[in-house]
Structure 1
Amino acid sequence: MVRVPLTWLAESVDLVPGSSAEDVAAALVRVGLEEEGIHGSQITGPLVVGRVLTLAKEEHKNGKTISWCRVDVGPEHNEPADGDVPAGRGIVCGAHNFEAGDWVVVALPGAVLPGPFPITARKTYGHVSDGMICSARELDLGDDHSGIIVLTRYELTADELTPGQDAIELLGLGERTLEVNVTPDRGYCFSVRGVAREYAHATGQPFRDPALAVSPPAATDGGFAVEVADDAPIRGAVGCDRFVARIVRGVDATAESPAWLKRRLTQAGMRPISLAVDVTNYVMLELGQPLHAYDLATLAGPIVVRRARPGERLVTLDDADRALDPEDLLITDSPDGVRGGRVIGLAGVMGGASTEVSATTVDVLLEGAHFDPISIARTARRHKLGSEASRRFERGVDPQLPPRAVQRAIDLLVQLGGGTVDREATDVVALPVVEPIRMAASFPARIVGMAFGAAEVRGALTTIGCAVAGDDDELVVTPPTWRPDLRSPIDLVEEVARLHGYAQMPSVLPTAGSGRGLTHAQRTRRSVARALAERGFTEVLTYPFVAPERLGTLGAADDEPLGAGNAVRLANPLSDAHPLLRTSVLASLVDAARTNLGRGLADLAIFEVGRAYRADGSGAAPRPGVTARPSDVELKELDAALPSQPRHVAGLCAGARVPASWQGPAQPFTWSDAVAAALLVARTAGADVQVRAADAAPWHPGRCAALVLPDGVVVGHAGELHPRVLGALELPARTCAFEVDLDALVAAGEGRLVEAAPVSGQPLAKEDLAFVVAEDVAAGAIVATARSAAGELLEDVHVFDVYRGEQVGQGRKSVAITVRLRATDRTLTAEDIAGVRAAVVAAVGAEHGGTLRA
């Protein structure tokens, strides 16, 4: 982000008459610069100029000495004179850096200072203080709170001041500042120069390049010696291809920066520090070229730009002692005759403390350089040292700026701090040639889908600073030096489109071709989610990243399919605590349950449709080239190297399914609710599954069901979670869950035809049968056998009771089923019903050893 005061912007481009800050922001949005905010002073008046008439020092019992002042704040605000007391306001002030006759800033009752801090008249130290005399920090003009502002020390003369004068206008406190979000490819907009250029593009207003307002001298012999010795360039790009050095002698380093300079730095979000630093920061904000000032007395020539050597260290300006990396580009000098032997700065990032400009500095060496963006970006991130300079260098700085930016800083430094400039100027240049881009004039129209004429294309590219040659069949476009992001024809297309105006582009709804739409799998997934939601479940989305301990908590051993040994480990996880991808959706779904339960939701039923990840089948992926689309063979090899990623649906329910009410007590969720939800998923997917008793982690071994396809493939489990798992996860007792392989169910259900049967008008016949079977016989198996034996007259069969007790014996149970029979063309006879009954009894007896309970 960059902050640009509108008054500063107006020095480089004429704002549209009558434009507000919001209008300027809207204009910049039209050319792709997004507004982040509009800032202005939080001060509201009355804030006026006052003249101290009398001042008396008073020491109070707490040991504090205060100044009791009579201040002339203008006829409009003064209280009338009373005897020897002149007209004015009585104000108590704790500062002592002013005296009678000084001009000050007074906040009168009713004013609001930043904070917000409303000003009222109040009694303090035995007096009624009718206002407040303000310091720089209280007005957001800087961090100085040691004393109040004396306006005559603020580059104002008494002739310019009048008691009662509006101090908000006088000090520029009413100015608006625009904050703009700069995208990484538009680094030139990290300056007033760049933003003004874009505003000119958006409005057609004339642009005045502040860089052209200065005229630097040509390079000469005899300047401060500089050498570039980059023997380890990154990507073949030399770390420094331009280095300008100029010397200013006799500078008053103790001179204070003027108020206007401090105000602009503060408005732009930077803290005023000292004259030399403030000047270099000001030029950086204005032109976009970072500069650095050295105390010449601490330097020993020549300056050598090189890579770091093993074991080297540097204490930077923030007093941090940093170990340097061989990839770091350094600024070094040569004390004791050792060429490049001392490190004095991280190039393009931060200077070193040993050559810092201080209050004793007399002679200053100014550096303006151009560094390789990749090198600077890596150094800044390696040392976690993002600076205003590195932010600009890593996005690309105009390589033609250094001599002009240094000259601009010299002019300001001499104007504000005195001194003389050496005639010698060092300018080491090894800039690469800017390669032209070749593009047909019709190319932007083909890409964007709008009719851009050749003249409009040429005009847009010329407007942004490109040199355009060639004919319409092939334009030869040379980008300006401040646009390193323009490297290919598609980059030029974007420039033509944004200058034409994105808002001018019509919205065209593409026509959907016939025969297209959702796939069977997509429709099924949506239907499954809708069915579960209608059943009372709430859909959630969780991150698929889990800790290895979580898979163990769910009871999966490392060598099992759901264990950590079969999990995909991320090379660069978002969190070191969660380096694995989940092997089951339930592994992350429990986190959503724990969060909601921890926030007081006692009853919940949630589900998620998402992918599980298994390392089986994954391998080394090939590395196809980047010059062409990968071949079909390469694409198949890439797919084969991926881990399996089946899409699952999992659900978890805890607490009460039906809350307690006047109708009766609460009805808790049970394992059967989880099984019913899993069967609902299978039924919605159109898959025919059977339910069998199972023993699988993380479910309770006696309350776990497996869902099995007709070919015997297990596609999921449902039931009550194991008590040990519930304890480890801190979930309520009897929490139930299910998880099924949705991809497998979709595949099983695809292509199945569902025939709508006519509604029969014939009467229904019903038989209730109770079978005594062994404890390990599943009720679902009995239902499946009965369905198979009943034949075409069967309409439905289901379990309605399970009994265990003395009447059926130890290790046995009674399973009661209801068999519903109906014919489509006739009323069933007693013989029909008896025949079905006998067939069911015989089949259950033969397959499960079941006998009818007496």
Structure 2
Amino acid sequence: MKFSENWLRELVEIKADRAALAHALTMAGLEVEELTPLGENLGGVVVAEIVGAEKHPEADRLQVCKVDAGTGEPLQIVCGAPNARVGIKVPLATVGANLPGGIAIKAAKLRGVESFGMLCSAKELGIDNDASGLLELSADAPVGKPLADYLELPDASIELKLTPNRPDCLGLVGLAHDVAALFGSHVKVPEQKDAVVAGAARRGIRLEAGADAPRYLGRIIEGIDPAARTPLWLAERLRRAGLRPISAVVDVTNYVMLELGQPLHAFDNDKLQGDIVVRHAREGETLKLLDGSEAKLDHGFLLIADEKNGLAVAGVMGGYDSRVTDTTHNIFLESAHFAPAAIMGRARKLGMHTDASHRFERGVDPELPRRALERATELLLAISGGKAGPVLVAENLSDLPKPVAVALRRARLKRVLGVEVADAEVARIFTALGMQVETAADGWRITAPSSRFDIEREEDLIEEVARIYGYDRIPTHTPEGALALAIDPEARLHELAVREQLAARGYYEAVNLAFVSHALIEKWGLGERLVPLANPLSADLAVMRPSLLPGLIEALSHNRARQQERVRLFELGRVFAAGNPPDETPSLAIVASGSARSEQWGEAARPLDFFDLKGDLDALIAWGGEPQRWSVHADGLPGWLHPGRGARVARDGQTVGYLGALHPQLAKALDLGPDVHVLELALEPLLGRRLPNAQPVPRFPSVRRDIAVDVPESVSWSQIEQAVRSSLGAALVELRLFDRYSGKGVEAGRKSLAMGLILQDASRTLTDDDADRCVRNAVAALEVSCEAKLRG
């Protein structure tokens, strides 16, 4: 919300300077994001009229102007502005003036021609950023009058960073109530009078959108002057609020929106056909908007239409074909109330953000439309002339929000704030904020005005007292109370242990948004069971992430684009899948690229490979103390993994994640190299651990037997280990793989694996027969499940 300081001071008495006002607003929760002084130090700058202009004899782009500054004799000024011409009135900085930015005006010669002053642009005067030409003033501007007096300067442009729960402050009158409460003054806004009805033109209005559009008002104004110029005072207030003056009709609607907070729109009445219909858009319906774009609508959009065509996307933007132009003489002026939920996110869905949508999706006072319509009519008749028709009203009163009284207990107020606020001060605060105050035995009953959507419960009222009374006046106390200590179960690792382990292995933790773009998810082939957002922050953040990897890969790519060749990142977070309610799964993801080790002299550099990431996974699994419950398999891989350099991770036979290199096609689509490896798995299985159980040192020796088998290349070590352990049970203490061979002597497509079986019994010494029987059982199990052959 951006506005002129002078405008605010006109609406409410402020017994404080600019710095104190800004501080008070910020401390009251209305953060001043930017404060720009305007028109400081304009002494010596006056209103002047160009009465003559000739081409400079030595420069094509300069003119020698004769300027009437009200001193009797015209002054000679050399000017290079493209819009300098006879008859316009402009600001003149006379000799001796000092402009903002340290520009001192002196008599000078420009290309041999004397110049006694400078004709100024808005930027040179420090009141706007427009440096395209001279600041043109109204034709009735009094020559010789100090410019500061004429433009009501100095002033300041103040921009507030409002929270979404304060839409009432998106209008100067609403903001004025807060300022009045802060400074103990009163709002000076006169009661709005109804315009004189001199015309009889009418048009029917039909409401067909139910509770989404419960109130719609309109009025036909005939015979306006389309060439009427916006008054300087109104145009300047728009400029200082960040809006460019366009035409009288548009400027008036913008002005009323800034003043009251109610967006308005004007249609060319001669282009409308039949009744005005407020309805939901039909699926696939399109409408060309004021900015020339084509809006593709669905049933979720509200549409303002006539009997034949759509006219405007309600609460967002008007249509192109029904717009007011330089030839418009009759307008239909609308003022409506739309439910915030019906407008929320619609502008972003069209890839835009408008002043109207910004207000409607936060909530506009349902009682404002009539007042705003009368105020706009008053201004339009004064500026553009014409005849106002009767106010046309269509409303469903049962669908309009109704004020509800909220109880505030005196004891509760003191307990929460930690300070006792006098009853008279509490009543003053709420009264100044435009609320109705009713005294009760234990406190008050407060009825908020229809503009305050945020007042729903007692805590909201306490917050109002705190911010107006002053947070700096509330003492700081140590909170009292007993805290119950939560003891983590021993059978579950804490997430912090996972973070510490990964950090110790050289990874950095990343934190990404839980929202991603639909286009990015499609690249990964993860388009199933997506959870779309009804009100996304932007089109690029439209769905909840189904995986942590897309966001982590974006972070990796960002780092590599900044000369970070060796990147190691991990993230712990939730992923989402469609359901009722949506499924949320805590997950862990890792991405890595570059060399396997940091640059050093003790080891030759080599690129990261699958087994490096597998080693990091094994280190995490080892913390749980049950590595035998985990296994990796080469089958069932998702489409985003390299088919020959990826694996499926399972715990107790259930798939919990995947690891390996990215699929080459995906890596190319994401503009990545072939060395990017990833891991993602559900977090909960990783956090389970076996409780320590002390065992006596074995009294009987262990026995080792080595065997070598050849198996198909497609058989993984996990399958072999699982088969051996299943066949030998408790007798097998450890299984060691100590050799792998393929080549001469081994069939093509097969490999030779040599392993050591460490056997032990806690109750007796194993005999040779026992060991031989274990070897036979292991070989038999491998022959059945792994197509193994015992090598001699």
TM-score (normalised: structure 2): 0.72
| Aligned residue in 2 for 1:270 | 243
**Shift, 1:207, TM fit:** 1.9
Matched, 1:744 2:681: no
Pairing of 1:76-115 with structure 2 (within 5 A): 91-93=78-80, 98=85, 104-106=91-93
1:843 and 1:209 map into 2 onto residues whose CA distance is 98
Matched to 1:235, the amino acid is: A
1:682 aligned counterpart, secondary structure: helix
Which aligned pairs between 1:441-840 and structure 2 lie closer than 5 A? Answer: 441-442=409-410, 445=413, 448=416, 457-469=426-438, 471-472=440-441, 477-483=446-452, 486=455, 491-503=460-472, 504=474, 506=476, 509=479, 511=481, 513-518=483-488, 523-541=493-511, 567-571=528-532, 592-593=555-556, 596-597=559-560, 600-611=563-574, 621=580, 643=583, 646-659=585-598, 661-689=600-628, 694-696=633-635, 698=637, 738-747=679-688, 749=689, 752-753=691-692, 755=694, 772-775=708-711, 802=740, 813=752, 815=754
| Code of the aligned partner of 2:259 | E
Structure 1 unaligned runs (5+)?
A: 76-85, 162-166, 333-339, 555-562, 622-637, 824-831
Distance 1:701 1:411 in 2: 71
Quickly say closer, same or farther: Cα 1:724–1:690, change in 2 above 3 A.
farther
For the pair 1:259 / 2:232, whether they are aligned, the reply is: yes
8 Å CA contact retained: 2:705, 2:771: no
Q: Which amino acid is 1:462 matched to?
A: T
User: 2:26 corresponds to which residue?
Assistant: 29
Distance change (3 Å), C-alpha of 1:690 and 1:734: farther
Structure 1 window deviating more from structure 2 (678-687 vs 432-441): it is 432-441
| Corresponding position of 2:176 | 196
Deviation readout 1:586-618 (Å, 9 max, x if unpaired) = 676555555545654433343343456678xx6
Separation of aligned partners in 2, 1:540 and 1:24 = 41
Aligned pairs, number: 761
Q: Is the 8 A contact 2:268 2:324 kept in 1?
A: yes
Aligned residue number for residue 134 of structure 1:
120
CA–CA distance in structure 2, aligned partners of residues 379 and 543 of structure 1: 19
CA-CA distance at 1:379 after TM superposition:
12
Instruction: Please give the alpha-carbon distance, in whole angstroms, between the structure 2 residues aligned to 1:587 and 1:357.
Output: 48
In the alignment, the residues of structure 1 paired with residue 544 and residue 243 of structure 2 have an alpha-carbon distance, to the nearest angstrom, of 44
Residue of structure 2 in register with 1:558 after alignment: none
**Separation in structure 2 between the aligned mates of residue 142 and residue 553 of structure 1, nearest angstrom:** 46
Matched to 1:13, the amino acid is V
Q: Quick one: structure 1 residues 245 and 435, their matched pair in 2 at CA, closer, same or farther if it must change by over 3 Å?
A: farther
CA offsets 1:571-596 (integer angstroms, 9 cap, x no match)? 55979999998776567655555554
Q: Is the 8 A contact 1:692 1:778 kept in 2?
A: no
Residues 718-758 of structure 1, C-alpha deviation per residue, up to 9 Å, x if partnerless? 667788887887765576555554422434x15x1254999
Counterpart of 2:166 in structure 1: which amino acid?
R
**Shift in alpha-carbon separation, 1:801–1:542, aligned structure 2, 3 A:** farther
Deviations 1:315-360 (A, max 9, x none): 876678989999856587xxxxxxx899988877648876847578
> How far apart in 2 are the matches of 1:737 and 1:188?
49
Query: Match for 2:180: what amino acid?
Result: A
Q: Relative to structure 1, is the Cα distance of residues 513 and 812 closer, same or farther in structure 2, using a 3 angstrom cutoff?
A: same
Question: Do the aligned partners of 1:5 and 1:178 also contact (CA within 8 Å) in 2?
Answer: yes
AA matched with 1:133: L
In 2: Cα distance, 1:578 partner to 1:188 partner: 28
Q: What is the identity, as a one-letter code, of the residue corresponding to 1:606?
A: L
Match of 1:15 in 2: 14
Q: In structure 2, do the counterparts of structure 1 residues 347 and 548 end up closer, same or farther at CA, with 3 Å as the change threshold? A: closer
The residue identity in structure 2 corresponding to 1:3 is: K
Percent identity reads 25
Partner of 1:847: 778
CA contact (8 A) 1:305 1:331 kept: yes
Mapped to 2, the partners of 1:517 and 1:388 lie a distance apart of 51
Query: Structure 2 matches for 1:351-370, cutoff 5 A?
Result: 356=324, 358=326, 369-370=335-336
> Can you list the C-alpha shifts for 1:754-807, whole angstroms capped at 9, x where unaligned?
54999x9xxxx999987544356977868997999999999x986566566769
3-state SS of the aligned residue for 1:36? strand
Matches within 5 A, 1:22-61: 22-41=19-38, 48-49=45-46, 57-58=54-55
Give 1:267 deviation, angstroms. Answer: 0.4
* Separation (CA, whole Å) in 2 of partners of 1:265 and 1:547: 36
Q: Which residue of 2 aligns with 1:630?
A: none
Q: Which residue of 2 aligns with 1:829?
A: none
Is it true that 1:156 corresponds to 2:142 in the alignment? Answer: yes
CA distance in 1, matches of 2:659, 2:94: 72
State whether structure 2 residue 85 is matched by structure 1 residue 67: no
Indicate if the aligned counterparts of 2:207 and 2:394 stay in contact, CA closer than 8 A: no
After superposition, the C-alpha distances for 1:800-833 in whole angstroms (9 at most, x for unaligned) are 6656676999966474769899x9xxxxxxxx9x
Which residue does the alignment assign to 1:371?
337
Change over 3 Å in CA distance of 1:228–1:168 after alignment to 2:
same
Partner of 1:307: 278
Over 3 Å counting, the alpha-carbon distance change for 1:464 and 1:680 in structure 2 is same
Q: Relative to 1, partners in 2 of residues 1:518 and 1:466: Cα closer, same or farther, differing over 3 Å?
A: same
Q: Matched residue of 1:514: which SS?
A: coil
Does the aligned pair in 2 maintain the 1:787–1:797 contact within 8 Å?
no
> Conserved in 1, the CA contact under 8 Å of 2:728 and 2:778?
no
Which of 258, 276, 286 in structure 2 is aligned with 1:285? 258
CA change 1:253–1:50 in 2 (3 A) is closer
CA–CA distance in structure 1, aligned partners of residues 658 and 386 of structure 2: 85
- The 3 A distance-change label for structure 1 pair 488 and 367 is farther
Residue 198 of structure 1: how far off its partner (Å) = 0.9
Matched, 1:437 2:405: yes
| CA gap 1:535/1:152 in 2 versus in 1, 3 angstroms | closer
Distance 1:447-1:547 versus aligned 2 partners, 3 A rule: same
Report the secondary structure of 1:271's partner residue: coil
Q: Which has the larger radius of gyration?
A: 1
3-state secondary structure, aligned to 1:679: helix
Amino acid at match of 2:142: L
Preserved CA contact (<8 Å) 2:337 2:366 = no
Which amino acid is the alignment partner of residue 432 of structure 2?
A: T
Task: Check whether the contact 1:691–1:705 (CA below 8 A) recurs between aligned residues.
Answer: no
Cα deviation for residue 270 of structure 1 reads 2.0
Q: Deviations over 1:3-37 (max 9, x none)?
A: 221111111222233x22x4322212333323232
1:235 counterpart residue number = 211
Residue 180 of structure 1 is matched in structure 2 by 160
Q: Does 1:410 align with 2:378?
A: yes
Whether the 8 Å CA contact 1:441–1:457 is kept in 2: the answer is no
| Structure 2: segments with no counterpart, 5+ residues | 781-787
Asked whether the equivalents of residues 55 and 99 of structure 1 are also in contact (C-alpha less than 8 Å), the reply is: yes
Which among 185, 200, 208 is matched to residue 187 of structure 2?
208
CA distance in 2, matches of 1:286, 1:376: 24
The whole-number CA distance in structure 2 between the counterparts of 1:564 and 1:371 is 41
One-letter amino acid of the counterpart of residue 6, structure 1: E
Checking the alignment, whether the CA contact within 8 Å between 2:225 and 2:386 is kept in structure 1 is: no
Query: 1:14 is paired with a residue of what secondary structure?
Result: coil
